[in-house]
């Protein structure tokens, strides 16, 4: 550090507007940081509470950018062809192992819910249209609990007390017994399986409900259906079309009735995300205004320093020293603020928004690092503006003004 930086450090702490900027930046950064704890916390929660929780995983990626969402579907989880919401639960469709024969099949539903032991209301199979009772399901699962059974087409009834592997039934007709009162059995043709290595379908108390076709699903998803079809709800219809197009590229047929409803979850975050973004913009504007006022006010000191023989290198050192100090002071103020806000969110957020009830708000180092990087970038930008403005000012022009 040069001797001149030593004086700059002393001066920095004597200028009130420097501290004001640090405080504003701290408030902004802390809020943004803690808001970014939320998706991490929710993701963690659903990772531990929902089967596959593909919906939230994809939602989180979606929130980070549409391309990421697409990337998620295409690269990370090729087995996922779509997802829909139903009555607050989230399901997915898988097409990973669809046979060529059924590439064009418009039926893509089956998944388990944490809703045992009753089957979700309205999910009865359409007896008059058995040909369309096609099935995709996890390759391993526990069949229905209680006294329901899955009929093995070759060997009779399957053992319902252990996990079964359905791979050998692919493209074969099987019968699932409904647990709705009379034990009615319905025939299905198993057209696809998806890998369950990562799902947590471990609890025997879980069963799965199923839908053989979109119309059936429509009947069930009363609150979400319009015009006898489910609606694309990828927030923007264009995004949904994009997903559809990508799926087609892969050789899959995405039924337009399949809903990708992220609305429910986005409601929970939108407020905070928009607030943090809005706050960021407002505070950036304030910082820019303060910076420009300071540059204007600082003209006298700039003139004095130029007269006394400051060169461009020394001006740069001065600006960089100021920015480093702003960075350090902002971080120092931010840390307790982040901690305090985090605690406040932990206490009051579940009361404010029931979506968060039971969800533990986790501290995310990733969010913290992102915030620090963002702060550094803002300060680099301000430093560059300051240095350029100081280089450009001509001594004689400052004196005349």
Partner 1 sequence: MDNVVAIEIKKCSKIYHKNGKDIVALKNINLSFEYGKFYLIVGHSGSGKTTLMNILGLIDSKYDGIVKINNKEVNNLKSKELAKIRNTNIGFIFQDFYLDNFLTAQENVLTPMLINQKKYSYKEMEDKSQILLDKVGLSERIKHFPKELSGGEQQRVAIARALANNPNIILADEPTGNLDVENEEYIFKLLKEMSKNFKCIIMVSHSKDAKKYADVVYNLENGEINYDED
In whole angstroms, how close is the CB of 19 to partner 1 at the nearest point? 13
In whole angstroms, how close is the CB of 280 to partner 1 at the nearest point? 30
Would you count residue 57 as binding partner 1 (CB under 8 A)? no
Give the number of residues written for the chain: 401
Backbone angle region of 150, left / alpha / beta, with phi > 0 → left and psi within -120 to 50 → alpha: beta
> Which residues fall within 8 angstroms of residue 101, CB to CB, at 6 or more apart?
171, 191
In whole angstroms, how close is the CB of 69 to partner 1 at the nearest point? 51
Which residues inside 6-25 make contact with partner 1, applying CB under 8 A?
A: 6-7, 10-11, 14-15
Q: How far apart are CA 322 and CA 383, in angstroms?
A: 8
Would you count residue 305 as binding partner 1 (CB under 8 A)? yes
Would you count residue 294 as binding partner 1 (CB under 8 A)? no
Q: How far apart are CA 229 and CA 167, in angstroms?
A: 31
Q: How far is CA 187 from CA 140, 145, 175, in A?
A: 19, 19, 4
Q: Which CB, 97 or 299, lies closer to partner 1? A: 299
Q: Are 203 and 178 in contact (CB under 8 A)?
A: no
Q: Which CB, 10 or 226, lies closer to partner 1? A: 10
Would you count residue 2 as binding partner 1 (CB under 8 A)? yes
| Of 248, 311, 373, 380, the one binding partner 1 by CB under 8 A | 311
Q: Which CB, 48 or 313, lies closer to partner 1? A: 313
Would you count residue 241 as binding partner 1 (CB under 8 A)? no
Would you count residue 312 as binding partner 1 (CB under 8 A)? yes
Q: What is the CA radius of gyration of the chain?
A: 30
Would you count residue 300 as binding partner 1 (CB under 8 A)? yes
Among all chains, which residue has been given the structure tokens 């309205």? 122
Q: Are 199 and 51 in contact (CB under 8 A)?
A: yes
Of 126, 84, 103, nearest to 233 by C-alpha is: 84
Would you count residue 395 as binding partner 1 (CB under 8 A)? yes
Among all chains, which residue has been given the structure tokens 């005349």? 400
Kindly determine how many residues on this chain lie close enough to bind partner 1 according to the rule CB under 8 A: 25
Would you count residue 401 as binding partner 1 (CB under 8 A)? no
Longest Cα–Cα distance in the chain: 100
Q: How far apart are CA 107 and CA 366, in angstroms?
A: 39
Q: Which CB, 373 or 395, lies closer to partner 1? A: 395
Q: Which CB, 14 or 197, lies closer to partner 1? A: 14
Q: Which CB, 267 or 301, lies closer to partner 1? A: 301
Would you count residue 291 as binding partner 1 (CB under 8 A)? no
Would you count residue 392 as binding partner 1 (CB under 8 A)? no
State the sign of the Cα–Cα–Cα–Cα dihedral 163, 168, 169, 175: negative
Would you count residue 303 as binding partner 1 (CB under 8 A)? yes
Q: Where does this chain bind partner 1 (CB under 8 A)?
A: 2-4, 6-7, 10-11, 14-15, 300-301, 303-312, 314, 395-396, 399
């Amino acid at each position: 550090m040069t001797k001149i930086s030593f004086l700059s450090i002393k001066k920095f702490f004597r200028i009130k507007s420097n501290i004001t900027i640090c405080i504003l930046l701290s408030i902004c950064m802390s809020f943004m940081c803690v808001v970014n704890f939320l998706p991490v916390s929710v993701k963690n929660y659903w990772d531990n509470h929902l089967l596959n929780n593909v919906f939230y995983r994809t939602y989180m990626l979606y929130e980070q950018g549409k391309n990421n969402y697409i990337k998620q579907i295409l690269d990370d989880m090729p087995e996922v062809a779509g997802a829909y919401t139903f009555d607050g639960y989230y399901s997915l469709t898988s097409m990973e192992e669809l046979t060529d024969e059924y590439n064009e099949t418009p039926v893509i539903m089956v998944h388990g819910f944490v809703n045992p032991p009753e089957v979700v209301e309205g999910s009865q199979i359409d007896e008059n249209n058995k040909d369309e009772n096609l099935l995709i399901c996890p390759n391993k699962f526990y069949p229905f609990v209680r006294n329901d059974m899955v009929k093995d087409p070759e060997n009779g009834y399957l053992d319902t007390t252990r996990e079964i592997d359905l791979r050998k039934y692919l493209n074969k007709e099987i019968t699932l017994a409904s647990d709705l009162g009379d034990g009615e059995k319905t025939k299905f043709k198993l057209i696809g399986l998806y890998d369950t290595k990562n799902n947590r379908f471990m609890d025997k108390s879980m069963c799965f409900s199923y839908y053989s076709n979109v119309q059936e699903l429509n009947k069930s998803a009363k609150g979400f259906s319009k015009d006898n079809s489910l609606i694309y709800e990828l927030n923007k219809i264009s995004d949904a079309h994009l997903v559809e197009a990508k799926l087609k590229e892969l050789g899959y047929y995405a039924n337009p009735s399949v809903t990708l409803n992220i609305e429910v979850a986005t409601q929970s975050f939108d407020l905070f995300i928009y607030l943090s973004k809005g706050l960021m913009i407002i505070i950036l504007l304030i910082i820019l205004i303060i910076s420009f006022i300071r540059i204007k006010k600082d003209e006298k000191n700039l003139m004095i320093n130029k007269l006394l023989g400051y060169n461009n290198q020394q001006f740069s050192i001065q600006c960089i020293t100021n920015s480093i100090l702003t960075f350090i002071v902002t971080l120092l103020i931010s840390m307790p603020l982040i901690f305090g806000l985090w605690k406040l969110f932990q206490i009051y957020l579940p009361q404010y928004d029931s979506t968060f009830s039971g969800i533990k708000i986790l501290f995310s180092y990733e969010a913290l690092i992102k915030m620090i990087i963002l702060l550094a970038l803002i300060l680099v930008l301000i430093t560059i503006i300051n240095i350029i403005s100081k280089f450009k000012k001509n001594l004689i022009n400052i004196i005349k003004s």
